[in-house]
Amino acid sequence: MKICIYGAGAIGGWIGAKLAQTGSAINVVARGATLAALKRDGLTLASGDSRVSVPVNASEDPSALGVQDLVIVAVKAPSLPAVAQRIAPLLGPDTIVLTAMNGVPWWFLQGGFGGPLAGAQLEAVDPGGKIDAAIPARHVIGCVVHASCALDAPGVVRHHFGNGLIIGEPSGEATPRARALLDLLAGAGLDAKLSPQIQKDVWYKLWGNMTVNPISLLTGATTDLILDDDLVRGFISTIMLEAKEVGARIGVPIADTPEDRHAVTRKLGAFKTSMLQDVEAGRAVELDALVSSVRELGERAGVATPFTDALLGLARLRARQLGLY
């Protein structure tokens, strides 16, 4: 099986290294310092006291790698338009594109999902439908990642905790290709599960991080401090109730209360959100996939989202001032 990792950052590198340890040949699209490190040292995965390096075939040019059976796209949402422009040489008629990304993806309303919004294109995440044209939904299997990883250095991934991947067809069908992919991931030691509605898993994860991420951008605070402030936690809960109503309108009802979700976040302790890490590293932030998308879905579904709007306005203004949006 020809497997390509497009985006050898923390999550893409983690999945790629796990697959490589099963004997799978791994191709990687990379550039700059990451490309140089992969060519020189291979892909390294560190976890606790363990450190394993695996050889990979890395190139900056997707056409040098050719058509793949599986392409794992693990980039931050702001990088996706550039990936879409260059991914064509990797895609054949039967290529699977596994999207291991945060936030609402471009294919979210495909596969008959979305109630009254089924089949709609979300301008917030795919302006003009350019991503959908480059990576049609028929190629896609969605993926929600429940793991914490970071880069120690280019090509060197450190796995902190969590080992979960939830995958699923946008249609919700348990297709042969989805089952085969599930077996591949499980065989690599990943805690992989097949979802009957991957959009629900995407939405539930989003429900927890669409607030603390931009608030960490605004404040620089870790999640424990964010939730410890009664007023901030109340603001977060109000936004979550808006998103909960949006979800109910499009077919992803959530039974939990905001406080239920806060309890889950608290169990992770004091940590920096991925958005705060991006800010500190000077990387573009994922506001559109995490917040703008919810606002657009609310508008289309007839749900008022004034608190979500306020958070988006404040966060994008701050991000623009930092040159990260």
Q: Give yes or no for residue 70 having a pLDDT over 90.
A: yes
Q: Give yes or no for residue 64 having a pLDDT over 90.
A: yes
Q: Give yes or no for residue 268 having a pLDDT over 90.
A: no
The pTM is what?
0.95
Mean local confidence (pLDDT), 63-69: 97
pLDDT tens for each residue of 13-46: 999 999 999 999 999 999 999 999 999 999 999 9
pLDDT tens for each residue of 103-122: 999 999 999 999 999 999 99
pLDDT at site 217: 97
Q: Which of 146, 158, 130 is nearest to 14 (CA)?
A: 158
Q: Which of 233, 18, 7 is nearest to 98 (CA)?
A: 7
Which listed residue (2, 39, 205, 272) is catalytic? 205
> CB-based contacts of 249: which residues, under 8 Å, 6+ apart?
115, 116, 301, 302, 303
pLDDT at site 60: 96
> CB-based contacts of 310: which residues, under 8 Å, 6+ apart?
none
pLDDT at site 126: 97
Does residue 76 have an active-site annotation?
no
Helix ranges restricted to H, 111-267 = 130-134, 176-187, 198-219, 223-228, 230-250, 258-266
Measured from the Cβ of residue 93, the count of other Cβ atoms closer than 10 Å reads 7
